[in-house]
């Protein structure tokens, strides 16, 4: 479904509609008659004409109210502006006085791979990136250990290694329960509740605790009086206060508090549960009308009431291959294979508690069975129940300006594609829909930030490479049964699309602006999975209860009293240390020896099926991290070889019988491997002299370019501009 968003589209449509009307044969007569009628009514001298109904009243009042408020504020702003400027001048003398550039624009293309970029540039497919390469810099950008987005982007913004910002993976391990928790933020409901019968009314505020430590470099800029617009940089939830505007990105939860739970409403009876990321909801069909619901957050007021639901109905029209939907007060029609616009979803829990979200409906089929996919319910940016921006009004501003947009950290529903709930086309439509919204936000930020920092991270590059690498790698197991002609160019198209975006950004900037395009890591094929827990089990480091040969999720059948090492998450390997883990057995004096033993055993591990090395490096955390939070890091970081990655089961703490297996999922490309194999990219409009730039260097480089002193705790070093580039 074509999404009619944005003023330009609207105004264009309105204009064309007016033009069409004026071109009809009787337009003039009708217009004249209308004018005469109006004049007659308006000139009739009766008191009643002073007012013509609430509609007119609202229109006039609202218009004048808007103008009145605007001018009142403008008057205030204008009158106080000199004083505020003077105050700022005195406090932050000459913020831009030592700056090399008036403005820095940093575009983050999550996962853009330097080898692919180089290949496409050589083929002449990326003319704008090639211009940057020729005029300024093109280089590989060393990533973090491990090469995972939340880790790398945290390092990007803080200029420090993970030991100082405390993010080592999407998930962190609770040493007491051996269960995972989200590494970036902790959300706790209100502490106090008033209990009345079956109701438990929360009293107080929801607490959101940022787990990422360190100070983003835009805070340093803000302290010096330099304004920043920061859009969708990962691990910026919860948003922190600084001088500028920020919209949080990766790690923002959905309304259920998860990292994205889609919903498949279906008339097909099935007890199957999705492995992750989704729920199946039945559709009840009666007299040609189908009724179902979208599950929302847990009921905050009624104890043990389960989740709050938003009901909807649809009427399939088989002949026209469409269905009419009624969701709350909204009515819309979807054809098969079509997405709705963002629909407001209100989840009423009773006692006046309502959660506000937005979601999109996708009609999969209507005959003989009916199936509707619903995106995870995103926090409504126009009515955020949790803060997703700084200031809070920034997300509202963007929602009012461009319409509702995806706010979920991982907004592109990769799980739905993995689970075959969405097909390739539906996934691409969703991903590019979100991408277009972010492009609009970027260009608005560019217009509004003529001085200072403007940075925006696009996830599209990451998600599409994850899901479509199988078409780039002819031998990929997930592509065996799929005709290659379906989407052979999807990644190439993606890079070209990003290149066109660069072109449009370049038109908006002048020589006083530094443009940097960076990625947090590159990409490689993910053809083979490795269950590290299985290897630990088979090699005597991990024991199972009652001599079982496999364990369920989250170490369900693991015997901790005999387990020395375990893994969860993507690259971390943990020792079960006495005094640190609740049921730890490894004596602290044996830790170093055990680390060395594991490093030796895993490094160079060969996949017997192919004879290829599955693990090319195992890194001892103490050697790669330093800082106050190293105690939270895994003990070893496992670097898989190209084509390999931790298996889906291993990530979830499951122990299987097999160590290596084919990856049959659509999620076919990855970067959670040996960080030395997946560097990111660095392009810049001005030439830097630096042989081995790293993502940790970006923060110090920007501070230096704005003439600020570098904080002593920074791990990165500032790059030097080539003399000609100054």
Partner 1 sequence: MVVLFGYTSDQKAIGIAKDQLKAHLLAVRLYRDQIPVVMGSYGKILRGTGRYLKLAFKPLLYVIVPITLLMVQIDRYLGQTPIPVNAPFLLTVHVGGQMTGNDTLNNVALELPPEIAMTAPAVHVPSENQIVWRLAGSKDGKYEVKITGAGKSVEKAVCLGSGLPRISTVRLRGQFWERMFSSAEPALPENSPIESISVNYPDRDIDVAGYGMNWIWLFFILSMVAGFIFKEVLGIQI
Sites of contact with partner 1 (CB under 8 A): 7, 10, 14, 34, 38, 40-41, 44-63, 66-67, 69-71, 73-74, 77, 81, 84-85, 88, 227, 245, 329, 391, 393-394, 396-401, 403, 447-448, 450-451
Rounded Cα–Cα distance for residues 539 and 321 (Å): 57
Pick the closer one to partner 1 by CB: 448 or 726.
448
Task: List the structure tokens of 281.
Answer: 């909801």
Looking at the DSSP bridge assignments, the partners of residue 530 are: 646, 660
CB of 401 to partner 1, least distance (A): 4
Pick the closer one to partner 1 by CB: 39 or 606.
39
Q: Is 273 helix (H, G, I), strand (E, B) or coil?
A: coil
Rounded Cα–Cα distance for residues 603 and 598 (Å): 8
Rounded Cα–Cα distance for residues 496 and 486 (Å): 18
Beta strand 378-379 with 199-203 is unpaired
Pick the closer one to partner 1 by CB: 78 or 289.
78
Pick the closer one to partner 1 by CB: 10 or 203.
10
Rounded Cα–Cα distance for residues 517 and 498 (Å): 10
Q: E-assigned strands of 621-702?
A: 636-640, 643-646, 660-662, 669-670, 680-684, 688-689
Phi, psi of 655 (to 5 degrees): -110, 125
Q: For residues 535 and 163, is the Cβ–Cβ distance under 8 A?
A: no
CB of 393 to partner 1, least distance (A): 5
Pick the closer one to partner 1 by CB: 90 or 723.
90
CB of 90 to partner 1, least distance (A): 15
Pick the closer one to partner 1 by CB: 63 or 367.
63
What is the gyration radius of the CA atoms in the chain, in angstroms? Answer: 28
Pick the closer one to partner 1 by CB: 144 or 395.
395
Name the nearest CA neighbour of 638 among 602, 589, 686.
602
Task: List the structure tokens of 551.
Answer: 């364990």
CB of 77 to partner 1, least distance (A): 6
Pick the closer one to partner 1 by CB: 77 or 289.
77
Rounded Cα–Cα distance for residues 479 and 664 (Å): 8
Pick the closer one to partner 1 by CB: 53 or 124.
53
CB of 407 to partner 1, least distance (A): 17
CB of 317 to partner 1, least distance (A): 23
Q: For residues 213 and 166, is the Cβ–Cβ distance under 8 A?
A: yes
Residue 610 host element (H or E):
none
Using alpha carbons only, give the angle 479, 481, 487 rounded to the nearest 5 degrees: 50
Residue with tokens 């920061």: 230
CB of 521 to partner 1, least distance (A): 33
CB of 95 to partner 1, least distance (A): 11
State the DSSP string of 16-51: HHHHHHHTSTTHHHHHHHHHHHHHHHHHS--GGGG-
CB of 159 to partner 1, least distance (A): 26
Beta strand 513-518 with 103-109 is parallel
**319 DSSP assignment:** T
CB of 177 to partner 1, least distance (A): 43
Pick the closer one to partner 1 by CB: 60 or 318.
60
Neighbours of 489 (CB within 10 A): 11
CB of 448 to partner 1, least distance (A): 5
Rounded Cα–Cα distance for residues 703 and 723 (Å): 18
Pick the closer one to partner 1 by CB: 394 or 560.
394
């Amino acid at each position: 479904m074509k999404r009619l968003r944005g003023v330009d589209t609207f105004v264009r449509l309105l204009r064309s509609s007016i033009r069409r009307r004026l071109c009809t044969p009787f337009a003039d007569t009708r217009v004249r008659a209308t004018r005469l009628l109006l004049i007659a009514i308006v000139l009739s001298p009766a008191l009643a004409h002073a007012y013509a109904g609430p509609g007119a009243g609202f229109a006039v009042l609202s218009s004048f109210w808007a103008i009145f408020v605007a001018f009142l504020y403008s008057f205030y702003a204008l009158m106080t502006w000199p004083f505020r400027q003077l105050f700022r001048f005195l406090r932050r003398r000459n913020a831009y006085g030592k700056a090399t550039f008036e403005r820095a624009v940093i575009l983050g293309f999550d996962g853009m791979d330097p080898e692919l970029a180089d290949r496409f540039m050589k083929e002449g497919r990326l003319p704008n990136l090639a211009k940057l390469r020729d005029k300024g810099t093109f280089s590989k950008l060393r990533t973090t250990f491990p090469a995972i987005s939340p880790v790398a982007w945290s390092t990007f913004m803080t200029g420090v290694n993970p030991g100082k910002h405390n993010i080592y993976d999407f998930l962190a391990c609770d040493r007491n329960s051996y269960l995972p928790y989200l590494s970036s933020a902790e959300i706790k409901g209100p502490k106090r509740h008033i209990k009345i019968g079956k109701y438990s009314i929360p009293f107080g505020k929801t607490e959101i605790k940022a787990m990422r430590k360190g100070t983003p470099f835009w805070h340093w800029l803000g302290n010096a009086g330099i304004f920043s617009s920061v859009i969708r940089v990962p691990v910026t939830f919860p948003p922190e206060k600084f001088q500028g505007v920020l919209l949080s990105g990766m790690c923002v939860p959905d309304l259920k508090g998860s990292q994205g739970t889609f919903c498949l409403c279906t008339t097909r009876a099935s007890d199957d549960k999705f492995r992750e990321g989704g729920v199946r909801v039945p559709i009840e069909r009666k007299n040609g009308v189908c009724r179902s619901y979208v599950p929302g957050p847990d009921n905050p007021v009624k104890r043990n009431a389960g989740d709050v639901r938003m009901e909807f109905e649809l009427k399939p029209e088989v002949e026209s291959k469409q269905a009419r939907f009624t969701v709350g007060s909204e009515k819309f029609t979807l054809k098969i294979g079509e997405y709705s616009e963002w629909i407001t979803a209100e989840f009423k829990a009773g006692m006046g508690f309502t959660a506000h979200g937005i979601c999109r409906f996708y009609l999969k089929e209507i005959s003989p069975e009916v199936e509707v996919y619903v995106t995870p319910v995103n926090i409504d940016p126009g009515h955020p129940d949790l803060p997703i921006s700084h200031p809070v009004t920034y997300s509202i501003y963007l929602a009012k300006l461009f319409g509702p947009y995806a706010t979920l950290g991982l907004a592109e529903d990769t799980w739905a594609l993995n689970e075959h709930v969405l097909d390739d086309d539906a996934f691409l439509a969703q991903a590019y829909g979100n991408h277009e919204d972010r492009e609009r936000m970027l260009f608005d930020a560019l217009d509004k930030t003529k001085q200072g920092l403007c940075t925006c991270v696009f996830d599209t590059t990451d998600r599409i490479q994850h899901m479509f690498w199988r078409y780039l790698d002819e031998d990929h197991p997930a592509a065996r049964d799929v005709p290659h002609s379906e989407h052979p160019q999807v990644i190439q198209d993606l890079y070209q699309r990003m290149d066109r975006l660069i072109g449009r950004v370049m038109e908006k900037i002048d020589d006083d602006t530094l443009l940097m395009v960076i990625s947090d890591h590159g990409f490689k094929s993910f053809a083979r999975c490795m269950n590290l827990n299985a290897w630990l089990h088979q090699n005597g480091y991990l024991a199972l209860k009652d001599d079982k040969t496999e364990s369920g999720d989250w170490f369900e059948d693991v015997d901790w009293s005999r387990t020395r090492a375990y893994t969860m998450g993507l690259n971390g390997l943990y020792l079960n240390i006495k005094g640190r883990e609740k049921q730890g057995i490894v004596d602290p004096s044996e830790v170093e020896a055990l680390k060395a033993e594991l490093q030796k055993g895993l490094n160079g591990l060969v996949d017997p099926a192919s004879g290829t090395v599955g693990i090319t490096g195992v890194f001892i955390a103490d050697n790669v991290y330093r800082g106050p939070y190293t105690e939270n890091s895994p003990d070893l970081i496992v670097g898989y070889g190209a084509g390999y990655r931790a298996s889906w089961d291993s990530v979830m703490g499951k122990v299987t019988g097999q160590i290596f297996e084919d990856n049959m999922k659509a999620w076919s490309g990855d970067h959670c491997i040996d960080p030395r194999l997946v560097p990111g990219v660095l392009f810049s409009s001005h030439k830097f002299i630096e042989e081995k730039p790293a993502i940790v260097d970006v923060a110090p480089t920007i501070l230096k370019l704005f003439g600020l002193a570098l904080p002593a705790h920074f791990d990165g070093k500032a790059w030097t501009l080539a003399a000609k580039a100054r």
